[in-house]
Amino acid sequence: MHSTLHITQNLTVKDRILAIGTQVSITRAIFMPTPYRLSFDHRFNFMLQQIIDPITEHLPENNRLERIWKLAQIDFKRRYYNDRLGLLWALINPLFRITIYFIVFSRIYNNNTDNYILFLFSGILLYGVFSEISKGGMTVIKFKRYLIENIQFEKVDLFISQAISVFLGFIFNMIVFFSVALAMGANLNANVIFFIPVLISLFLISSSVAMIMATIVLYIDDIRHLWDMIVFLGFWSSGVIFKVDKLVEWIPAILYLNPFIGLLTNARAAIVYGTPPDYFMMIYTLLFSCAMMAFSVWLFHRNEHLILEKS
Amino acid sequence: MSENETIIRVKNLSKTFHIREESVKSIRHLILNLRRLRSKQHRIQALQDINFEVKRGEVIGIIGRNGSGKSTLLNLIMGSLKPDKGSTIETSGRIIRMALGMGFDPNLSARHNIYVNGSILGLTFKKIGSIFYDIIDFADLNDFIDTPLKFYSSGMRSRLAFAIAVHAQADIFLMDEFFGGVGDANFQAKSKKVFESAFLDKRTILFVSHGLKNIVDFSDKVLLIDRGKQLAFGPPKEVVKQYQKLMK
């Protein structure tokens, strides 16, 4: 451990990048065993940069976008790097939960949903993104206080970059998802492109809930319990692990009150069943999420001066 | 961008903090005490009727005893606190506040901290990349670029803060006990030179300091605050005399 520290410190940055570029494949870089963890940081950065640099080269230089991206990157690192298994945790948790739900709902209760394991997998991954981003909203102010105290900038960026960092982890989950889907013979076709509006809505809804949470935290400290309840309610009313047909028959209005019903239905149409989406619900969910975003930005701006005063 | 443009205008500025005696903010507390909440509030008048104007390029020193409201004033000017009704604060341009260990995340390396801070201070990555080694060289941290800041000594941290600050792009600088030099004698001499020649030139600075020598040497005007009230705003030597009287 100490020797690694020494070596990486004595190398110049250029040497290090050259060494990384020639020796390490992407898979090895991700699943690097523990003794190499110190250099993992640089390997992963380098890997990300190889993917991102060609894209950003063609974009105009924009200070704000760069900043959001940088904050997302370091947030992503903070989330996974200090753990022994690093990114693997992003996979282990959902896989574990899927196994449990799968056993309960296919072996213990009879369940005749088509392709149930993918149905479940997609639901849990998408809902997991929401719960992680909205949970982060309660702490992002605390973690980034060092910036808020000293520099004037648009604080909404903090929430957006936090959401992007969760999406970065989500990309790895989706790679696993698509591998499983292909192996299990899911019907993947051109309808996959309708997954994009789903992701946009998911991003907007999650970051606006994060902002609303951050605002409430300014007034009430123990909002965590309320958040637990909201996430629990959402989990059981959005059809993460079962079809919502009966629920919607019983309370028709819930289709419009809970954007996740439409979101998950369309997500599954796109990436599990390969059928065209429910266009009405797609547009409704997009509009709903934009409205939510506008509301939460307004709410947050109205209260942001309380950050230093109350926390 | 004329020379004599007023960049900060503070008028009738007051700030009252409402502090609840029981500071527990829980849902249970909220429901049980919904009615009594207002009456239980404790009011602290942190600042009262502050008036001054700053022109572009001026250096303003702020002095006062501990707890007199100097830092609150900086926070109000930065916009992170909201003043009481009837107060006006007009500022133009980007403001940054510098204190020892300013916007640093202790878990990140100097590299990341430079990028994050630089970016928030309005520099593009290209620009940061071009001055990156200038900052590192200036702060003398060549061997510790990728070491997390939590392993830095406080001297190293303040050197880094100072080095970034020198390169920052902002219209107004608020400095909380940050003025002049930081670090050991060697670095202090170096930073003082840069500070006097490059940094002070045409920048608008408000600084809080207990070092009266710095106040007299560098500021164009001095603001004296005591217990939230403005006692004087004028030429450094006179105001410092008044402050010394106050301290006796």
- State how far the Cα of B159 lies from the Cα of B150, in Å rounded to an integer: 14
Q: Which two tokens stand for residue A182?
A: 């292909």
Highest mean pLDDT of the ranges A176-185, B2-11, B158-167, B185-194? A176-185
Checking if the pLDDT of A241 tops 50, the result is: yes
Q: Are A220 and B119 in contact (CB < 8 Å)?
A: no
Q: Which residue has the higher pLDDT, B16 or A14?
A: B16
Distance (Å) from the alpha carbon of B82 to chain A's nearest alpha carbon: 6
Residue A73 CA, chain-centre distance (Å), reads: 13
Those residues whose C-beta lies under 8 Å from the C-beta of residue A24, and which sit 6 or more positions away, are A43
Least CB–CB distance from A71: residue in B26, B94, B116: B116
B102 backbone dihedrals φ, ψ, rounded to 5°: -55, -155
Could you give the CA distance from residue B120 to residue B168 in angstroms, rounded to a whole number?
10
Are A220 and B107 an interchain contact pair (Cβ–Cβ within 8 Å)?
no
Q: In whole angstroms, how far apart are CA B134 and each of A67, A86, A109, A162?
A: 21, 34, 66, 30
> Is the domain of A233 the same as that of A206?
yes
Q: Does the pLDDT at position A286 exceed 90?
A: yes
A169 vs A14, higher pLDDT = A169
Identify which of A99-103, A235-239, B17-21, B30-34 has the greatest average pLDDT. A235-239
Q: Are B52 and B214 in contact (CB under 8 A)?
A: no
Q: Which of A67, A73, A215, A303 to substitute to test the interface with B, most B CBs within 10 Å?
A: A67
What is the per-residue pLDDT for A29? 46
A18 pLDDT band (50/70/90 cuts)?
very low
- Residues A149/A241, Cβ–Cβ less than 8 Å: no
Residue B158, token pair as written in the block: 């303040």
User: Are A142 and A14 part of one and the same domain?
Assistant: no
Question: What chain A residue is nearest to B17 in terms of C-alpha separation?
Answer: A309
The percent of residues above 70 in pLDDT, for chain B, comes to 81
* Rounded mean pLDDT, A5-25: 45
pLDDT in tens, B114-123: 888 888 777 7
- Three-class SS of chain A: CHHHHHHHHHCCHHHHHHHHHHHCCHHHHHCCCHHHHHHHHHHHHHHHHHHHHHHHHHCCCCHHHHHHHHHHHHHHHHHHCCCCCCCHHHHHHHHHHHHHHHHHHHHHCCCCCCCHHHHHHHHHHHHHHHHHHHHHHHHHHHHCHHHHCCECCCCHHHHHHHHHHHHHHHHHHHHHHHHHHHHCCCCCCHHHHHHHHHHHHHHHHHHHHHHHHHHHHHHCCCHHHHHHHHHHHHHHHCCCCCCCHHHHHHCCCHHHHCHHHHHHHHHHHHHHHCCCCCHHHHHHHHHHHHHHHHHHHHHHHHHCCHHHHHC
Closest partner residue to A151 (CB to CB) among B97, B105, B145 is: B97
Q: Are residues A76 and A54 in the same domain?
A: no
pLDDT value of position B100: 61
Token pair listed for B124: 């593009």
Angstrom CA distances, B227 to A54, A75, B66, stand at 57, 41, 9
CA pair distance A95, B148, nearest whole angstrom = 33
Question: What was the pLDDT predicted at A129?
Answer: 92
Structure tokens at A79: 């989330």
User: Can you give the pLDDT at residue A159?
Assistant: 93
Residue of chain B whose Cα is closest to the Cα of A57 = B126
Is residue A104 domain-shared with residue A123, that is, in the same domain?
Answer: yes
Q: Do A309 and B124 touch (CB under 8 A)?
A: no
Q: Over 60: is that where the pLDDT of B168 sits?
A: yes
Q: How high is the pLDDT of residue A279?
A: 92
Q: What is the pLDDT of residue A84?
A: 57
- What rounded mean pLDDT belongs to chain A? 78
Max mean pLDDT range (A40-44, A231-235, B11-15, B180-184):
A231-235
pLDDT of residue A4: 39
Q: Is it the case that residue A116 has pLDDT exceeding 80? A: yes
Which residue type sits at B51? N
Alpha-carbon distance of A304 to A149, in angstroms, equals 12
- Whole-number Å distance between alpha carbons of A208 and A253: 22
State percent of chain B over pLDDT 90: 0
**For residue A86, what pLDDT band results from cuts at 50, 70 and 90?**
low
Overall number of domains in chain B: 1
| Contact criterion met (CB below 8 Å) for A264 and A242 | no
Within 8 A by CB and 6+ apart from A58, the residues are none
Query: Do the strands B59-63 and B41-55 form a parallel or antiparallel pair, or are they unpaired?
Result: unpaired
Distance CA B54, CA A58 (A): 42
Q: Which two three-digit tokens encode residue A54? A: 């060609």
CATH classification at residue B121? 3.40.50.300
**Under a CB-based contact definition with an 8 Å cutoff, are residues B92 and A31 in contact?**
no
Average pLDDT of B166-195? 71
Cα(B177)–Cα(B82) distance, rounded to whole angstroms? 23
| Domain that residue B239 falls in | 6-247
pLDDT per position as a tens digit, A157-203 = 999 999 999 998 888 888 888 888 888 777 788 889 999 999 999 99
**Number of CB atoms found within 10 A of residue A79's CB:** 20
Check whether A90 has a pLDDT greater than 80: no
pTM above 0.90, yes or no: no
Which of A71, A220, A307 is nearest residue B80 as measured by Cβ atoms?
A: A307
- Mind telling me how many Å the CA of A36 is from chain B's nearest CA? 15
Q: Is the pLDDT of residue A8 over 60?
A: no
Which residues of chain A lie closer than 8 angstroms to B143, CB-CB? 9
Residue A280's pLDDT band (boundaries 50, 70, 90)?
very high
**Whether residues A79 and A49 fall in one domain:** no
Least CA distance to B141: which residue of chain A?
A: A9
Give B124's contacts in chain A (Cβ within 8 Å): 61-63, 66
Do B104 and A146 lie within an 8 Å CB cutoff? Answer: yes
Which residue in the set B25, B81, B123 is minimally distant from A308, CB to CB?
B81
Are residue A35 and residue A72 in the same domain, yes or no?
no
Tell me what pLDDT residue B157 has: 81
Q: What is the pLDDT of residues B140-153, one digit of tens each?
A: 888 888 888 888 88
User: What is the bridge-based pairing of β-strands B41-55 and B6-20?
Assistant: antiparallel
Compare CB distances from B94 to A67, A152, A222 and report the shortest one's residue. A152
Task: Note whether A45 and A194 are same-domain residues.
Answer: no
Q: Is the pLDDT of residue A5 over 50?
A: no
Beta carbons of B80 and A149 less than 8 Å apart = yes
Same domain, A172 and A51: no
pLDDT score recorded for residue A10 = 47
Greater confidence, B8 or A5? B8
pLDDT at A193: 92
Mean pLDDT over the full length of chain B: 79
Interface residues of A toward B, Cβ cutoff 8 Å, are 8-9, 13, 41-42, 61-63, 66-67, 70-71, 74, 78, 82, 146-153, 219-223, 225-226, 305-310
Last residue of a domain, one of A41, A59, A77: A59
Q: Given B30, B96, B107, which is nearest A150 (Cβ)?
A: B96
User: Is the pLDDT reported for residue A149 higher than 90?
Assistant: no
Of chain A, the percentage scoring pLDDT greater than 70 comes to: 76
Count the domains in chain A: 2
Most confident of A79-88, A167-176, B100-109: A167-176
A163 and A40 housed in the same domain: no
Same domain, A160 and A94: yes
Please tell me whether residues A72 and A55 are part of one structural domain: no
Mean pLDDT of A275-287: 93
Boundaries of domain holding A13: 1-59
Residue found by looking up tokens 């009262």 in the block: B48
Handedness of CA B198, B200, B202, B208 (dihedral sign): positive
pLDDT in tens, B197-246: 666 667 788 888 887 877 888 888 899 988 888 888 888 888 888 888 88
pLDDT for residue A48:
63
The answer to the question of residue B1 being in a domain is no
Nearest to B195 by CA among B166, B169, B220: B166
pLDDT confidence tier of residue A2, bands split at 50, 70 and 90: very low
Q: Band of the pLDDT at A127, cuts 50, 70, 90?
A: very high
Q: For residues A107 and A148, state if they share a domain.
A: yes
